[in-house]
Every structure is written in C-alpha cells, then in structure tokens.
A and B are shown apart, each in its own frame.
Chain A
Amino acid sequence: MTPTTRLCVNGETVDVAASEDTPLLTVLRDELGLVGSRFGCGQGLCGACFVLLDGVAVPSCQTPVSQASASSGVVTVEGLPEGGTPHPVQAALLEGQAAQCGFCISGIVVRAAALLSTNPAPSADEVAEALEHNLCRCGVQRRIIDAVVSAGSAR
C-alpha cells in the first residue's frame, strides 16, 4: 500500500498517494496534473522545476514530498496568477516576448515572483543575481532580466 501524504498546493489541501521520499516534482506532475513545473535535470541544478515552499523558491525535484507536507504550502507556476490575471512577471515576459523554447520559464517565473515579493523594484543586476540558479539555453537571459525589471517597476 502506498501511504498517503497531505499537502497544500496553490491554496488547496490535497491527499496524494506517495511515499514520503517521492520528489515533490513527481507528485505535482504525475499525481496532481500540475505539469507547469518542468523536469530539467532531477539534480536541483537548472531551476526548471522551482516552486515556492513557504514563499521560498526551491527545486521541487530535490524536495521530498514529506518536506512539502510539513510546510505551510506549495505554490507552483499555475498558482501565481490571481483571479485569472497572469502574475506581473508572466505579463511582462509575454509583453517582452522574453522566451524562445520556454522550457526554463516556469522556474524563472517562480524565482522572479519570489524576488519581487521581497524586493518590489529590483535592478537588472539584482534580477540576474536572483536567477543565478536558473539556466536558459536559448540565450534569452537579457530579455528575461529586462522583463522582470519592468514587472518590478510596473507595480
């Protein structure tokens, strides 16, 4: 029998059938259908699977579901829009067409949202530093930095 774990995801309490060491990413994607968090490396090194845990961006591939269960809640990229309105970071990324393949973008949205919650108007250097653990292979770094800066000052 697979044990059941209770956790709060995007404001909703859910019970999932997963052993406590199952990566949160697997639970999000396979059990809850929240595929917005992407699998890039499984080693916590690329940032594509970042989610907010107690408001802090963490790689969900390296977060056991038990840790998520003990937290006050998980927010994924799907949980960032409010009332159907995209998060300001998402709106700014679309406005600036700041993506190519987009595979890294979910994790970047999550990390940038965490940044704006503590630093509402970051400089380009502060954004670049915050995204140190996010990788982009298409070479869109500068557009993304510009978009996050504009999301900040737009508030």
Chain B
Amino acid sequence: MTATPEVSAPQHVVANPALGTWMSVADGSVVVQVGKVELGQGILTALAQIAADALELPVTAVRMRAAHTADGPDEGLTAGSLSVLQAGPALRHVGAVVRALTGGPGGDLSSYVARIAGLDPATDLRAVTPAAPARASAVGRSEARLDLPDKVLGRPRYLADLRPEGLRHGRVLRPAVPGATLADLAHVDLPGVKVVRDGSFVGVVGPRESDVDTALARLAAAATWSDGSSLPDEDDLSAWLRSGPHEEIAVLDEGGPVTPTHHASYSKPFLAHASIAPSCAMARWTTGQTGDRLHVWSHSQGIHALRDAITSALGLGEGVVTVEHVENAGCYGHNAADDAAFDAVLLARATPGSPVLTRWSRSDELTWGPLSPPMTATLGADLVGGRIRGWSHDVWSLGHTSRPGYAGAPGLLAAGHRADPSPVPPPTDPPLAAGGGTTRNSVPIYAVGPRRVTGHRRTMTPLRTSAMRALGAYLNVFAIESFMDELALSAGADPVAFRLAHLDDPRAAHVVRRAADLGGWGRPLPDDTGRGIGFARYKDKGAWCAVVAEVAVDHEVRVRRLTVVADLGLVVNPDGARNQLEGGATQATSWTTTERVRFDRRRITSDDWETYPILGFAAAPLVSVELVDSAAPSVGAGEAAQGPTAAAIANAVHHALGVRVRDLPLNADAVVRAIESTE
C-alpha cells in the first residue's frame, strides 16, 4: 500500500502522479516529458531550464521529449499564456522529489543520472516529501532556444518532414463553399491514387505527392456541390453581430450608467491565423490480433482532447488512439491542426498499415480553418470633474472556441462532412473563470466608479470561429484604451496622466509610466506623426503590459516604433520573453493595420497571401521591450501585447491627425473615412 498522500503537490502533478510520466533516462540524458507543446514560442526551452534547476543539473544534461498521450502527462491545452504557470510548478516538484529520492547530484554527473535511472517509474509523486527548492541557476538566464539550430540549418524538424517507410501522401477536397454538401462526384480515372469518399468527405491517397495533387484537381472538377450557406454582409458585420440570437454573458453589474454622457463603438473584422505552414498531420491505422490501433502525429494544441475527439467521432474503444505532438509552423490559437489530424485519420483508415501524411492547401488553410471572430463593443462613461464616474461596456461577438470536445461534440471539420455526420457545433466561449472569450478583458482595470459589463455572444454563424491569440481581449482592450484616450481628451487631460489618475494598482502604474518615459512621451515629433499609448493586464490576472506606438500617416499608416514594457513576474528566459512580446506586438500591428478576412455572400474570397496580406519586412516596426525586474510568480508573455498595441496605434493616429478610427483594420482607407466623417 502506498502511504496516503501528505504532500501538497501542484495541480498537474496531482493529475499525473507517476514519476515515469514526467521523467526517464535514455542515452545518459535525463528525458523530461511535459504535456505542453512547442508552438514556436520557445516553451520547451523555458521548461528545460526549470527542469534542469529543479534537478540541479545543467540544461545540457536534460532532453525535452514532445508531448505524447500514451506515456506523457496530460496538461490540457497549450494556450492562454499558462504553460510556465502550470508546467513550471509541476517540474519543480518532480525535480525536488527526484533529488529527495536520489540524494541529489553528489558525485559526478553520470552517477547522478544513473541513480535517477534507477528510480521506479511508478513512484507516486504525491507521496514523497520533496527536497528543499533548488537555487535558480538556468532560470533567469537567456538560454538559447533548443529547437532553433534544426530550424535555422534546415534540418528535418516539422511534421511535414516525417518520412517513415511506406509513406503515403493524402489530400482532402473541401466543399466549394461553406455549408455545401456533395451532390455528385463524376467518375474520373485516377491512376496511382486511391479515392476515399464518405458522404461529402472526399480525399485521395497515394505514394507520390504530385499524383495526389493532380488527382485532387481532377476530383474538384468532377464534383458538384449544393448551394451552401448565406454569408453576412462583410461591410455590416457590427449590425449582424448585434442582431442575434444571443447568449447573454453577465460579467459585472454595479449599477453602471444606462444613459452615459460619453459613448463610442469599436469593431474588428474576422481575422485568419495565417500560419506560414498549412496544417498537416500523419496517421497510421493498423489492424492486428489485439485489435485496431491508430497512431496520430499532430501539431494540435491539445493532443489529449484530440485523441478523445477522434475516439468519439469514430466510436472507438479506449486505448485505441495515440496522439503525439510534432512541431509545425507557428500556432496562435485553435487553427486547423485538429481538423487536419482527423482528415489524416479518415484517409489512413482506408489504407491500413500505411502512414498517411495529409497536408492542407494554402487556400483551405485561409478559408476552412477556424477564424478569429468579428467583434463590436459599445462603451459608455460619465465624467465628473475630470474623473470617470460610472462605466458601461457591451460587447458582441461570435464564440471564441470551437476546440475539439468543447461543446460535447468531436468538433472536427471532416466529422461534419461524413455520411453519418457529427456536425461541428456553434462556437462558444471558455468559462469566465478561465478568462472568458467574448468578454476577456472587458472589465476596465481603472477606478471608474460603478461598472456594468455585458457580453452578447451571437450563437449562429455560417463561418466557424475559435480561439486566436488573446481572444476577446484584443478588441476589448482596443476599445477600452481607445475610449480612455477619448475621455482624456474630453476631460482636457494628458492620456498618460489621465490613466495614472485612475490606476490604483502600482504594478500597472509602473509599466504605464515606464512605457511613457521610454517611448518619449511628450517629446516633439515630425509632422503627420503621432504617439499613442495602450495598456492592459491580460485576463485581469496575467501580465501587465503597456505599449507606446509612434505612427506616421501619409498615404498609408506606418507604425514606426513600438515601446513595450511588461511585468511578467519572475522571467524564466528573458530573451525568450522579449521575443514573444516583440512578436506579439508586431503581429498585432499586422492585425490592426493590414488584416481582414474578405468574403462575398457565398464564400471567403481572401484565400491566398495576395488577398489576405500580412505585414511585410519593410513595414515591420522597430520594437523595444523592457521587462520589469521581479521575483513575483511568473505569468505568461505570449498574449499580453495584442490589445495594448492595437490601442496604442489608434491613439497615435488620433494624435497625428486628430481623427479617431474605431473600426479595424486601421489602414489608409479607414483614415480617409474617419476624416470624411468629421468634415
């Protein structure tokens, strides 16, 4: 009998209590396995630093193994800027238990590793009193990313680089327009490939990539589709969002103003993840005496939820499906990774024994992947004696998650296209306790008197939406921080001073003040150039982040410089955190100034890089980042800059030209419209 657990263990250790789930030894290295996955954010390097310190080993003695459902810990999704928060304490506990059981790193390295190798993988991590916390050695240092040499030197690293024996390539023919079903598929002679059809799901598999691509084009020509769904007017999305039906989300009601003296409305369009690689996956279906086995290689953010969704969609028994994570290009939320995995599964099932590598097209990636939802918000406030006294915030959106399993359904695109369909349910929102979706960051951090904050999630949509970096916080922070500037102007106050006058939180005030100082607040600027600030604390409990933007507006909107100051608590890898904030701010610049999913009443028309442009090299702003020196508990960096950057840019444009753009994207056309509307 194991002793009753007496130790207070971190949540992820309680959920995954066996030592062998987290750690093993192979080839003289300690192999650390986490449930968090590398999305390009550098998480495996940061967690290697934490694990190395916890074991009192050099980082070079630790090898990180990718997440795996069969023998690694289940740590849920890699999302929400939570990985260091969740996996960090778990690894510190595991390391401390290992030191307690082995006596720690006395003697030479190999003898310590040998003692670790001798531990029982079944050891219950909850039942061992851990050794005292180890001293930080790697943590706090800018260790080089473990994965970058492969990537920079062009070595095999990504999912699409897998080349197992007997590899088959797969492609899937998506419906001509959203909501369409396959009415007819004329016979075509396709040598060298196998056609797989299940209702409106059509795919091809073959040994040669060029053959499956040719076959796919011929199948597209042979297919007749039904009419599909009617799409909303792309130029009137705010009215469409406000028309419902809605699910109401009561966030907060302290008796905020019903008819505020100041009010304004803001909006954002649909956005695409627009990862540089299209989604892909590999699957191998084997049948044997012990029954069917399905192995899936996926770049999903949640391999365990994906395993369960595949199991449920195909009515398989427990233990049949294994999913392991393999890296793909950058992932900024729920993209088509899970859908591609199920495509590969359906094709692999039709070609048992062969690993089938299935890759989406660029066009399908931009039109069939989940989109970031359009949103609109109306904010209201009363000003009394230059101070805000009462605040209202109403935000309308589509749901911010349709991840596998979220609404009790598999939630996999192809499952909805099969003859016996399991449709993808309408998108919903993560719970408020997890930060919400539509209403994420909708409660102002400022002291504004009584507040009323309500979300209105439109429940019907012909276009699937889901989580993208920062979820609703991007629009809500853009709206709040634009509105703060408008109120400051009404009060005749400087925007930075106005914010500071309404901030009780010293860590908030510090980043606002530092960003203003470093961003040259109040210093002269060339003509047609403005400076603006945006600030938020992500999810109200994460990183504090302030951004000062310097924007020139001539015939286009040019974001020249971004100054970012963030308080992340204890920073595991400072350069990695800076890279995340630089990237977040630059990507948010792209969303804010450049991006918009385009569609007519039948289909999405922004289906390549010319029709869905993203920020190029010449337009990328100079970004400088300062991290606040802190030993407070760590919070994530990945999503903190998205909303503040958008607001800082809009506020800078107002500073430059005296016109307010409230509807994104903030491009030259939007500026012209704003000028015209004030004339």
Real binding pair: yes
Report which A residues bind B (CB closer than 8 A): 18-19, 22-23, 26, 29-30, 33, 35-43, 45-46, 48, 76-78, 81, 86, 90, 93-94, 97, 99-106, 109, 125, 127-129, 131-132, 134-145
| Of the residues A48, A78, A142, contact of B622 by C-beta under 8 Å | A142
Q: Offer 14 A-B interface pairs, CB within 8 angstroms, sorted by A.
A: A26-B210, A30-B208, A38-B158, A40-B278, A41-B362, A77-B154, A78-B153, A100-B41, A102-B148, A103-B329, A109-B152, A137-B276, A140-B582, A141-B620
Closest to B149 in A: A94
| Of the residues B145, B147, B331, B359, contact of A39 by C-beta under 8 Å | B359
Q: Bound state CA distance, A18 and B214, in angstroms?
A: 14
**Residue contact A137 to B154, C-beta cutoff 8 Å:** no
Interface-side segment among B237-245, B367-375, B449-457, B608-616: B608-616
Q: A36-B154, A142-B620 are in contact. Are A94 and B144 (CB under 8 A)?
A: yes
Interface of B is mostly: loop
**Residue contact A97 to B609, C-beta cutoff 8 Å:** no
The minimal Cβ–Cβ distance linking A60 to chain B, given in whole angstroms, is 13
Q: Indicate with 1 or 0, residue by residue over B111-154, a CB within 8 angstroms of chain A CB atoms.
A: 00000000000000000000000000000001011011111111
Segment 570-604 of B: residues with Cβ below 8 Å from A: 575-576, 579-580, 582-587, 589-590
Closest to A106 in B: B154
Q: A26-B209, A102-B147 are in contact. Are A144 and B617 (CB under 8 A)?
A: yes
**Residue contact B582 to A139, C-beta cutoff 8 Å:** yes
| Of the residues A26, A36, A103, A132, contact of B276 by C-beta under 8 Å | A103
**Residue contact A94 to B148, C-beta cutoff 8 Å:** yes
B160 at the interface (CB under 8 A from A): yes
The minimal Cβ–Cβ distance linking A148 to chain B, given in whole angstroms, is 10
Closest to A35 in B: B161
**Residue contact B617 to A139, C-beta cutoff 8 Å:** no
**Residue contact A93 to B152, C-beta cutoff 8 Å:** yes
Q: Bound state CA distance, A136 and B618, in angstroms?
A: 12
Q: A43-B362, A99-B152 are in contact. Are A142 and B586 (CB under 8 A)?
A: yes
The minimal Cβ–Cβ distance linking A22 to chain B, given in whole angstroms, is 5
Which residues from B are CB-within-8-Å of A109?
152, 154
Interface of A is mostly: loop
| Of the residues A93, A104, A137, contact of B587 by C-beta under 8 Å | A137
Q: A35-B156, A94-B148 are in contact. Are A139 and B585 (CB under 8 A)?
A: yes
Segment 637-656 of B: residues with Cβ below 8 Å from A: none
List 9 tightest A-B contacts by C-beta distance, closest first. Answer: A36-B154, A101-B40, A102-B151, A139-B586, A77-B154, A101-B330, A103-B329, A141-B620, A139-B583
Which residues from A are CB-within-8-Å of B622?
142
Q: Bound state CA distance, A65 and B331, in angstroms?
A: 32
Which residues from A are CB-within-8-Å of B473?
none
Q: Bound state CA distance, A28 and B526, in angstroms?
A: 50
- 15 further A-B contacts with Cβ under 8 Å, apart from A100-B42, A103-B328, A137-B330, are A22-B210, A26-B210, A30-B208, A35-B154, A38-B160, A42-B362, A45-B610, A90-B152, A97-B148, A97-B579, A100-B583, A102-B148, A103-B158, A105-B151, A141-B615
Which residues from A are CB-within-8-Å of B161?
35
The minimal Cβ–Cβ distance linking A67 to chain B, given in whole angstroms, is 16
| Of the residues B144, B147, B157, B590, contact of A139 by C-beta under 8 Å | B590
Q: Bound state CA distance, A104 and B277, in angstroms?
A: 9
B555 at the interface (CB under 8 A from A): no
The minimal Cβ–Cβ distance linking A54 to chain B, given in whole angstroms, is 20
Which residues from B are CB-within-8-Å of A37?
154
B72 at the interface (CB under 8 A from A): no
| Of the residues B209, B275, B618, contact of A30 by C-beta under 8 Å | B209
